[in-house]
Amino acid sequence: HGAKLVTFDVRLSNTAGRSDEWYQPFPGTDGAIALAMAHVIIRENEVDHDFVSKFVQPGLEAIREWLAPYTPAWAEKQSGVSSGDIERLALEFSRKRPSAVAFTNRGTGAHYNGFNAERAVVMLNALVGSIAKPGGYCYGLEEKLSASRYPQPQPAPEAPKIRTDLEDPPEWPLANRWQKMKVGQIAYDYLRQGRAKLEVYLSYTIASPMTWPEGRTTTVEVLKDTNLIPFHACSDIIYSEMAHYADMILPDATYIERWGMDIRNNIELQHYVTLRQPMVPPPAEAVSFADTLFEIGKRLGPEQAKYFQFGNHEDFVRHQCSKLPATGPDGKQFKDGFEYMKYYGVYVDTSKPKTFEVYQRALSEKQLAGTRTDEKTGVIYKTDDKGKEIAIGLMVGQVAVRGFATPSRKFEIYAPEVERIARKSGMQDDGLPAYQPIPSHQNLLEERFILTTFKWNVHTQGRTASQKYLSEIVHDNPMWMHSSAAAKLGVKTGDFVELTTYRPVSGKLGDQAYHGTGEKIGSANIRVFVTNGIHPKVAAVSNSLGWMSGGRASQGIRGRREDIAAKSIAPDAAAAFGPQSDIDDLEYGLWWDEKNGGRGNGVNINALLPINPSPLVGMQSWFDTVCSIRKV
């Protein structure tokens, strides 16, 4: 549509390579660039004054004063991106308003300072008034399968009321403010510390030894300790590394063998739901994990069993579809909503307008009944069923509107809640998306680099290397290194280096790094890929690879299935896999076996990363790890 795409990424990703402009900032400095762009936008008066005056907290003059030190020249020193480019991009962006979008992903957020960096980037949309406008920042939310729209069979159990440090760690008080279980990387270490206790551990396609930071050390040590995890049942579709450390394996159905309903980001700003239905039945003893859970529920005693009398997962999904229409968009009639979904596979709710500018929508008389309005702030409050007063809207002029889903019902550049919780936790955060340098990256030694990881489009986390067609495409993961850095080390593409990683160090704002000692974590020998498509102080390695179990494709081992199973699992393991097929292309066709001249199955890079939750929110700082590189 003629839109210009500008990408900030330390590595030449597929997105960066297809962009009109690509910039390589020093890792973790995205927030500095965003703040400098905001500085320019306000300095040049390229602001949407109407939106900012009505819907942004604090006011424009307070924002102007706060942004004064964040100049493009300052941001250039932090990021390496030239001040001239920052100036130009800020003006190009603001002058296209409202058809201008600044958004982030883990490249910005998965850092020690990622929480405020993401806030700074999204703030740009507020300053130019592009939020929820056509062509603007309309990030669709990933909705839930709400019981009101997709009812569950009755009786339905209440939501659990118990809390533990595993799911709600007090050290990261904002971790569960918006989504649950956001500091999962500390779970195994907390078990080892005795912060929580387990009797039974039920895992589901989680691949922790592969995907967790310190997965091959902390995670595996805890999985093997029967005092910490007395009994572990693992549901998976393959003999994964997680299954390897389980007491019981529950064979799961694959995605083409089970029922389910799915909702993802509604990027078209309209509610929709899709139906997953089995194309073939699961083989042998494999059962959909949902059905396994239902059967467990029936055996937990009469108080729990009463919730699971509806049948199987297909019956559960049928009930969830009971409120969906039975008439198709083409007029075709069906018995019920379930049959509708089986035929079309998807339901899109077109009865409501797209959610543009929802903050402008007026509150109804029913919504306003029993409310009070704060005369100073204009916030409209209503008492809920539990007697708690909550903000439901905002007076804008003489009109009561919905506003934003924040305590002030405004877009909060200044968030008092963040400031209050940070102070209570002994941290320094004034509630504004300020830039904080990453402590581990300061005074970086010449021989040290910042390690970043990435994903190939053919792999999903650490769960797909066993699929031979995917692993044939991507089966190893050389370390990307800039040509200037490679020249200093005297290495070229194909050479091996020793990559060593280190723990983070703590900052000075009360935000102590997790095990922030700066000590060595581990090392691995890895092949080098020399390129100009990466920042000179960054090393990049893709994840998903380096399996120690999971079968021949994931392990990169050619041979007969029964022989590999006997060596990798147990002498009698081959019998569990059933009869050998007549045609076995992995016996001779697995050409990436290192013993036969191939490149092997790569390195488990996550095993070398530290457990490193960021302050307040607990996001794993995937892209902050300091490393050293030595030619071998």
Indicate if 612 and 467 belong to the same structural domain.
yes
Peptide bond preceding 615 in cis form (omega within 30 of 0): no
Instruction: Indicate if 295 and 391 belong to the same structural domain.
Output: no
Cβ-defined contacts of 170-174 (< 8 Å, 24+): 171/425, 171/613, 171/618, 172/613, 172/615, 172/616, 172/617, 172/618, 173/421, 173/424, 173/425, 173/616, 174/115, 174/418, 174/421, 174/616, 174/617, 174/618
Beta-carbon contacts of residue 9 (< 8 Å; ≥ 6 apart):
15, 16, 22, 23, 24, 107
On whether both 459 and 336 belong to a single domain, the answer is no
The type of residue at 378 is G
pLDDT surpassing 80 at residue 1: no
Residue 307 pLDDT more than 90?
Answer: yes
Give residues with Cβ within 8 angstroms of 182, minimum separation 6.
Answer: 172, 175, 176, 617, 618, 619
Residue 400 Rama label (left phi>0; alpha psi -120 to 50; beta): beta
Looking at the structure, tell me whether residues 374 and 298 fall in a common domain: no
Cα separation, 5 vs 23, in Å, equals 12
- Report the C-alpha gap between 39 and 64 in whole angstroms: 7
* Assigned domain for 235 exists: yes
| Upper half-sphere CA count for residue 307 (Cβ side, 13 Å) | 14
- Residue 156 is assigned to a structural domain of this protein: no
Residue 472: inside a domain: yes
- Residue 141's pLDDT is 66
Are 499 and 614 in a shared domain?
yes
CB 382 within 8 A of CB 370: yes
Q: Is the pLDDT of residue 115 over 70?
A: yes
Q: Are residues 75 and 205 in the same domain?
A: no
Distance CA(158)–CA(268), nearest Å, equals 33
* Amino acid 568: pLDDT: 79
What is the pTM (predicted TM-score) of this model? 0.93
8 A C-beta contact, residue 628 and residue 447? yes
Residue 105, pLDDT score: 86
User: Is 141 a domain residue?
Assistant: no
> Mean pLDDT throughout 420-426?
91
Tokens read off for 352: 């409501």
CB atoms closer than 10 angstroms to residue 573: 16
The reply to whether 447 falls in a domain is yes
Strands 479-482 and 538-542: antiparallel
Cβ-based neighbour number of residue 230 at 10 Å: 13
CB 310 within 8 A of CB 153: yes
Range of the domain at 394: 362-401
Q: Which residues pair with 527 in a beta bridge?
A: 496
Residue 353, pLDDT score: 86
274-284 mean pLDDT: 95
Measured CA to CA, the distance from residue 463 to residue 376 in angstroms comes to: 53
Average pLDDT, the chain: 93
Say how far apart CA 423 and CA 616 lie, in whole Å. Answer: 11
Beta bridge partners of 201: 232
Single-letter amino acid code for the residue at 256: I
- Write the CATH number for 212: 3.40.50.740
Calculate the alpha carbon distances from 5 to 18, 108, 247, 474 in Å: 8, 17, 50, 28
**391 — phi, psi (to 5°)?**
-80, 130
d(CA 274, CA 195): 40
Residues 291 and 390 in one domain: no
Distance CA 411, CA 55 (A): 6
Strand partners, 273: 347
Residues 474 and 606 placed together within one structural domain of the fold: yes
Weakest-pLDDT range from 42-46, 136-140, 290-294: 136-140
In this structure, the strands spanning 21-23 and 6-8 are parallel
Domains contained in the chain, number: 4
Q: Are 517 and 543 in the same domain?
A: yes
Q: Are 133 and 139 in contact (CB under 8 A)?
A: no
Residue 625 lies in a domain: yes
Same domain, 82 and 202: no
Does residue 383 sit in the same domain as residue 530? no
Contact 133, 356 (CB under 8 A): yes
**Phi and psi for 64 in degrees, rounded to 5?**
-60, -45
Residue 341 and residue 370 in contact, taking contact as beta carbons nearer than 8 Å: no
Contact 541, 600 (CB under 8 A): no
Least-confidence region, from 212-216, 353-357, 399-403, 614-618: 353-357
Residues 6+ apart with CB under 8 A from 205: 235, 236, 237, 240, 242, 252, 463
User: How high is the pLDDT of residue 509?
Assistant: 64
Phi then psi for 264, rounded to 5 degrees?
-125, -175
Looking at the fold, whether 340 and 267 belong to one and the same domain comes out as yes
Q: The domain spanning residue 600 has which CATH number? A: 2.40.40.20
For residue 563, is pLDDT > 90?
no
pLDDT at 511 over 70: no
Q: Is there a domain that residue 603 lies in? A: yes
> Quick one: average pLDDT of 9-23?
96
pLDDT for the residue numbered 88 = 98
Higher pLDDT: 167 or 476? It is 476
Residue 507 and residue 538 in contact, taking contact as beta carbons nearer than 8 Å:
no
Share of the chain above pLDDT 90, in %: 78
* CATH code where residue 113 lies: 3.40.228.10
Residue 182 lies in a domain: no
Can you count the helices (H) and strands (E) in the chain?
23, 20
Query: What are the phi and psi torsion angles at 539 (to 5°)?
Result: -115, 135
Contacts of 453 (CB under 8 A, 6+ apart): 540, 541, 542, 543, 605, 606, 609, 622, 623
Q: What is the pLDDT of residues 232-261, one digit of tens each?
A: 999 999 999 999 999 999 999 999 999 999
Would you state the structure tokens that stand for residue 324, as one six-digit string? 């969906």
